[in-house]
């Protein structure tokens, strides 16, 4: 399946595995890249040396292209921005902000740069600064989100920029992926479905929570702080939302989120931890390898798009 996105990434399929904090480590990234997609290491708040180790471990497991997602609000962002150049990482994606200050040096070092955006304005700005593509992420997604839905965001971004758009937020099967193409995307980024893949190191309790979830099980916390996050409803989100309603301060709310994703991902505390997942969680019922997921997605998408000629550029 070839689009401008596969040309940029050097992959077989235009499918990126989201750079998920704590989840997107070397096993998952390598499995996705080996299956023909683009696996990402999620640098999140990790110190630069930990990210360097992860990059080296991916390289031991695959010779295919992979990338690193840099969370721009991380205290290590500057150091990680430097080390991805030293390590000659083929693709960089960025989350939680505007990567403008790094774009020039990243581009000069030959890396492909793909910022994640949640608005037309940021997409256009990123194009001006030399981005190779953008991931446009709708608020159906798991983790930190913007305001626009995938349905409304993707076609507006696709009309506003010349560079390829990769759609994210709510893709669970070939219907979702085909819909992204029809909305104007030339690739997809998927998070939640890869969380439950066999190669994902996420605790069994977390995977089970996703597989057993229903359509209405995700909630958004943190709107009052300006940093909304989508995760599956539990004791942690209940307490957070109650405190938000009571007008708790940012510091007080932070206490509830500190270490909460790590607790859920590594320790399996799905009650008091943060079980980040998107609205599509309710659709995900199967446990599969990354290869099975990707092959199924591609097969379904190709079948659905037969006759819809506009998608392939």
For ligand FMN, give the closer residue by CB, 196 or 253. 196
**C-alpha distances in Å from residue 258, one per residue of 48, 147, 226, 252:** 20, 24, 17, 10
305/186 Cα distance (integer angstroms): 13
For residue 248, give the H/E element and its range.
Answer: none
The region that residue 7 occupies, defined by phi over 0 for left and psi between -120 and 50 for alpha, beta otherwise, is alpha
Shortest spacing between CB 89 and ligand FMN, in angstroms: 15
Beta carbons of 165 and 158 less than 8 angstroms apart: yes
* Both structure tokens of 55: 């990059």
Number of residue whose CB is nearest ligand FMN? 191
Shortest spacing between CB 135 and ligand FMN, in angstroms: 7
For ligand FMN, give the closer residue by CB, 44 or 253. 44
Shortest spacing between CB 308 and ligand FMN, in angstroms: 22
For ligand FMN, give the closer residue by CB, 248 or 264. 264
Catalog residues that contact ligand FMN under the rule CB under 6 A: 18-21, 23, 42, 44, 69, 71, 95, 116, 137, 140-143, 168-171, 189-192, 195, 276-278, 280
For ligand FMN, give the closer residue by CB, 1 or 202. 202
Please report how many Cα atoms fall inside a 13 Å half-sphere around the Cα of residue 114, on the Cβ side: 33
Shortest spacing between CB 309 and ligand FMN, in angstroms: 27
Q: Which residues are CB-neighbours of 156 under 8 A, at least 6 positions away? A: 120, 148
For ligand FMN, give the closer residue by CB, 69 or 237. 69
Shortest spacing between CB 76 and ligand FMN, in angstroms: 13
Dihedrals φ, ψ of 140, to 5°?
-75, -15
């Amino acid at each position: 399946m070839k689009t401008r996105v596969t040309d940029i990434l050097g992959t077989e399929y235009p499918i990126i595995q989201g750079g998920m904090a704590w989840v997107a480590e070397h096993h998952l990234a390598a499995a996705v890249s080996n299956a023909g997609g683009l696996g990402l290491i999620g640098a999140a708040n990790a110190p630069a040396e930990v990210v360097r180790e992860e990059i080296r471990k991916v390289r031991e497991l695959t010779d295919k292209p992979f990338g690193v997602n840099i969370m721009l609000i991380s205290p290590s962002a500057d150091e990680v921005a430097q080390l991805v150049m030293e390590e000659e990482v083929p693709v960089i994606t960025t989350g939680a902000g505007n990567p403008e200050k790094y774009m020039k040096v990243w581009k000069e070092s030959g890396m492909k740069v793909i910022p994640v955006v949640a608005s037309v304005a940021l997409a256009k700005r990123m194009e001006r600064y030399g981005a190779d593509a953008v991931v446009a992420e709708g608020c159906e997604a798991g983790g930190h989100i913007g305001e626009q839905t995938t349905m409304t965001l993707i076609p507006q971004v696709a009309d506003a920029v010349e560079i390829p758009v990769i759609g994210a937020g709510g893709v669970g099967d070939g219907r979702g992926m085909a819909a992204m193409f029809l909305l104007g995307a030339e690739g997809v980024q998927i998070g939640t479905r890869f969380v439950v893949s066999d190669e994902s190191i996420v605790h069994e309790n977390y995977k089970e929570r996703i597989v057993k979830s229903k359509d209405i099980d995700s909630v958004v916390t943190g709107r009052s702080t300006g940093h909304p996050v989508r995760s599956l409803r539990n004791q942690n989100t209940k307490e957070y939302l109650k405190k938000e309603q009571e007008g708790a301060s940012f510091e007080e709310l932070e206490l509830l989120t500190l270490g909460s994703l790590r607790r859920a991902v590594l320790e399996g505390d799905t009650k008091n931890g943060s079980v980040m997942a998107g609205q599509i969680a309710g659709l995900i019922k199967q446990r599969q390898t990354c290869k099975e997921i990707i092959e199924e997605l591609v097969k379904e998408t190709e079948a659905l798009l037969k006759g819809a000629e506009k998608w392939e550029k």
